[in-house]
């Protein structure tokens, strides 16, 4: 069986990657240490999703590893020599990053470097897929012209309908500390491809959602909105006259 290592396997995107490729016949090795609960408290806890994968997927194995653990990452990747690494483990919140700048950068930037270097040293044939974000463009996308509709804002130019072009600048833009740590990761993933020849790529998603998100106020808004609705909690809306700006993508 082909082997895939998925970091952040108990999270929204990682768990969907595990299920999807397991169904295609891959053996899946998940890496997650439930940092989401440390970041966001008990409502961010992802153990339920880890246990779901362990119960549902016959060829899934969980590895309790912190990607900041450089030696641990090297040992695991050296042992598994995966055909593909899909890297989705991260501190994912813009607002939280400002409160925990070292944890944010150590996880998003240094954690990514740990995995890349481990792959280069011990599994150089691996394909390294990095879950980046449109936040690498900072607030530059906010300059794209919008048209106000009754309940939402749409892009004014048809050229923007399919997403933000990769030609958008990343300089002269405010990123949040989260965006900055993700830029560092994104650029270094590209560099391991161009400089070292590792087969790497960055996917710059935005506003992903799905039933397997452990939604909290600071991350995973749609999941959190439904939670508030079910639990009768107040939901606060910020900016843009309370109207939706971006589409959400189901994982």
Ligand X SMILES: NC(=O)c1ccc[n+]([C@@H]2O[C@H](COP(=O)([O-])OP(=O)(O)OC[C@H]3O[C@@H](n4cnc5c(N)ncnc54)[C@H](O)[C@@H]3O)[C@@H](O)[C@H]2O)c1
Residue 184: CB minimum distance to ligand X, A: 12
The number of beta carbons lying within 10 Å of the beta carbon of residue 93 is 22
Which CB atom, from 27 or from 129, has the smaller least distance to ligand X?
129
Residue 191: CB minimum distance to ligand X, A: 18
Residue 239: CB minimum distance to ligand X, A: 17
Residue 131: CB minimum distance to ligand X, A: 4
Question: What are phi and psi for residue 75, nearest 5 degrees?
Answer: -65, -45
Tokens of 187: 């650029």
Which CB atom, from 26 or from 40, has the smaller least distance to ligand X?
40
Residue nearest to ligand X (CB): 11
Query: Do 32 and 50 form a contact (C-beta atoms < 8 A)?
Result: yes
Which CB atom, from 158 or from 250, has the smaller least distance to ligand X?
250
What are the residues binding ligand X (CB under 6 A)?
Answer: 8, 10-14, 31-36, 46, 66-68, 88-90, 92, 107, 111, 131, 133, 205-208, 213
Distance CA 245, CA 107 (A): 29
Distance CA 185, CA 162 (A): 24
Tokens 């150089």: give the residue: 124
- Angle (CA) 111-172-89 rounded to 5° is 20
Which CB atom, from 25 or from 203, has the smaller least distance to ligand X?
203
Overall residue count recorded for the chain in this entry: 251
Which CB atom, from 32 or from 117, has the smaller least distance to ligand X?
32
Which CB atom, from 14 or from 120, has the smaller least distance to ligand X?
14
Angle between helices 70-80 and 111-122 in degrees, nearest 10: 40
Residue 150: CB minimum distance to ligand X, A: 25
Residue 180: CB minimum distance to ligand X, A: 13
Which CB atom, from 27 or from 31, has the smaller least distance to ligand X?
31
Residue 242: CB minimum distance to ligand X, A: 20
- Angle (CA) 127-61-4 rounded to 5° is 10
Distance CA 44, CA 35 (A): 9
DSSP string, 55-67: HH-TTEEEE---T
């Amino acid at each position: 069986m082909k082997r895939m290592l998925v970091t952040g396997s108990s999270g929204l995107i990682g768990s969907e990657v595990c299920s999807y490729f397991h169904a295609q016949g891959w053996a899946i090795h998940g890496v997650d240490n439930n940092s989401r609960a440390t970041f966001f408290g008990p409502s961010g806890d992802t153990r339920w999703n880890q246990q779901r994968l362990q119960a549902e997927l016959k060829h899934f194995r969980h590895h309790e590893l912190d990607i900041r653990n450089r030696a641990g990452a090297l040992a695991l990747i050296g042992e598994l020599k995966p055909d593909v690494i899909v890297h989705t483990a991260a501190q994912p919140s813009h607002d939280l990053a400002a409160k925990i700048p070292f944890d944010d950068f150590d996880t998003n930037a240094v954690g990514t470097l740990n995995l890349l270097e481990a792959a280069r040293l011990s599994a150089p044939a691996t394909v390294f897929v990095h879950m980046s974000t449109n936040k690498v463009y900072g607030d530059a996308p906010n300059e794209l012209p919008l048209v106000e509709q009754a309940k939402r804002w749409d892009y004014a130019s048809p050229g923007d309908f399919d997403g933000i072009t990769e030609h958008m600048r990343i300089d002269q833009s405010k990123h949040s500390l989260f965006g900055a740590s993700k830029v560092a990761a994104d650029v270094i993933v590209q560099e391991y491809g161009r400089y070292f020849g590792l087969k790497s790529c960055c996917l710059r998603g935005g506003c992903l959602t799905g039933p397997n998100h452990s939604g909290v106020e600071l991350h995973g808004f749609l999941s959190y909105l439904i939670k508030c609705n079910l639990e009768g909690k107040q939901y606060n809306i910020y900016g843009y006259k309370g109207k939706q700006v971006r589409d959400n993508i189901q994982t």
